[in-house]
């Protein structure tokens, strides 16, 4: 739902009705749930920086923030988990957290999940087997479903009996915020009553080498993995974790104007939320440690907020670069901090993201009332 607002001498802007976050499931290097993430952000504690898995020895010389000790069977049991890849396992465990104890109508509950290419490790291992095994290329057929980009969202729906809208959004750095934008449109059109919205990313040696060789990250920047999924609905709910106001996205083809594109997205999101720039108390930034983009993002936010940069939250400082899941984990960081240090009265924050492809996005979030 939207309502039209206007002031004398200005163009009417449709104000977005808030969406309510009623649950959150997080899998990250900090642990499971919001509480460990909040503690890590406040204390800036140290995490293990070594990779995990069968390809751990093949990683480049770069710090890594992996989810250590993760075993999907401990969370979901042995049935149906034999061929699950790490990406899908993260998504399923995060959704188990967010749905635990909740009464969900499967027919009107759907999934909107952000990713980039699906499981890079599965793609790489199957390609390697195809090229190296004897003919007729006896690859493991049980792994093939994991090569499909929407495998994780499909598995989430199947395991939890969710028969509503099911969408996978691929958008690189901005994928998670694009997913929230998609969810807002779907709920506004009545396509579902409730959506599980978030992002997921896994670590692997091939992906780590891609980051390392391109040089787009600072040398000391860590690589991370994890998932954050949120239950989002239009109806107000007792004990909601946050309100999601407007989410706006922009594409700017000229790299010289990326900051202007982000500033435009932020300003539009604030207008549609009915929020003045000076009311923003924090911004959760997504381009931390990205060469060039980090300053572009800060410059775009400053331009939209009148030159000031409020409290900056950089979840990548503690969890590493999580790419398509970064926007979801940026939101999780805000919610974790609000839980750890509840504000005396509702406050408003921004989640921003900007990519090297010219996409930029901004989400306006309000703390619980």
Question: What single DSSP character describes residue 366?
Answer: E
State the pLDDT confidence band at 117, using cuts at 50, 70 and 90: confident
pLDDT score recorded for residue 82:
82
Q: Give start and end residues of each alpha helix (H) in the chain.
A: 34-43, 72-76, 86-99, 120-132, 151-160, 175-188, 205-214, 258-273, 293-304, 316-319, 326-340
pLDDT score recorded for residue 138:
75
Q: With a cut of 50, say whether residue 151 has pLDDT above it.
A: yes
**315 against 54, higher pLDDT:** 315
Residues 34 and 198: their CA atoms lie apart, in Å, by: 14
Q: Which domains does the chain have, with CATH numbers?
A: 19-233 (3.40.47.10), 242-366 (3.40.47.10)
Q: With a cut of 90, say whether residue 118 has pLDDT above it.
A: no
Mean residue pLDDT of the chain comes to 90
- Per-residue pLDDT of 223-235, as tens digits, reads 999 999 999 999 9
Q: What is the average per-residue pLDDT within 73-99?
A: 91
pLDDT score recorded for residue 8:
37
pLDDT score recorded for residue 319:
96
Residues 67 and 200: their CA atoms lie apart, in Å, by: 13
pLDDT score recorded for residue 144:
67
Q: With a cut of 80, say whether residue 134 has pLDDT above it.
A: no
- Per-residue pLDDT of 153-162, as tens digits, reads 999 999 999 9
Q: In the chain, pLDDT over 70 holds for what percent of residues?
A: 92
pLDDT score recorded for residue 15:
82
Range of weakest confidence among 10-24, 52-66, 104-118: 10-24
pLDDT score recorded for residue 4:
45
Q: With a cut of 70, say whether residue 10 has pLDDT above it.
A: no
Q: With a cut of 60, say whether residue 11 has pLDDT above it.
A: no
**58 against 128, higher pLDDT:** 58
pTM of the entire predicted model: 0.92
Largest CA distance in the chain: 75
């Amino acid at each position: 739902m939207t309502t039209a607002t206007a002031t004398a001498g200005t163009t009417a802007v449709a104000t977005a009705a808030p969406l309510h976050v009623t649950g959150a499931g997080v899998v990250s290097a900090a642990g499971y749930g919001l509480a460990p993430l909040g503690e890590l952000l406040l204390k800036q504690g140290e995490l293990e920086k070594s990779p995990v898995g069968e390809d751990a020895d093949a990683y480049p010389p770069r710090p890594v923030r992996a989810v250590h000790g993760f075993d999907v069977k401990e969370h979901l049991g042995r049935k149906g988990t034999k061929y699950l890849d790490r990406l899908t396992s993260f998504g399923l465990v995060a959704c188990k957290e967010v749905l635990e104890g909740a009464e969900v109508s499967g027919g009107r509950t759907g999934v909107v999940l952000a990713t980039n290419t699906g499981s890079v490790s599965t793609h790489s291992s199957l390609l390697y087997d195809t090229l190296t095994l004897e003919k007729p290329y006896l690859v493991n057929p049980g792994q093939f479903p994991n090569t499909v980009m929407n495998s994780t969202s499909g598995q989430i729906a199947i395991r939890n009996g969710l028969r509503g809208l099911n969408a996978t959004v691929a958008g690189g750095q901005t994928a998670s915020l694009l997913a929230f934008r998609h969810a807002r449109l779907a709920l506004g059109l009545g396509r579902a009553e409730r959506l599980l919205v978030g992002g997921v990313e896994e670590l692997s040696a091939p992906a780590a080498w891609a980051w390392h060789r391109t040089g787009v990250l600072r040398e000391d920047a860590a690589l991370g993995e994890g998932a954050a999924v949120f239950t989002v609905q239009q109806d107000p709910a007792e004990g909601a974790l946050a309100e999601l106001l407007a989410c706006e996205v922009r594409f700017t083809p000229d790299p010289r104007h990326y900051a202007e594109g982000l500033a435009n997205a932020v300003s539009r999101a604030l207008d549609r939320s009915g929020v003045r720039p000076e009311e923003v108390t924090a911004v959760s930034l997504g381009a931390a440690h990205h060469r060039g983009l980090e300053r572009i993002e800060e410059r775009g936010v400053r331009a939209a907020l009148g030159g000031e940069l409020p409290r900056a939250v950089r979840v990548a400082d503690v969890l590493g670069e999580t790419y398509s899941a970064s926007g979801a984990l940026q939101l999780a960081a805000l919610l974790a901090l609000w839980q750890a240090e509840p504000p005396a009265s509702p406050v408003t924050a921004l989640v921003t993201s900007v990519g090297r492809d010219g996409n930029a996005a901004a989400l306006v979030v309000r703390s619980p009332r």
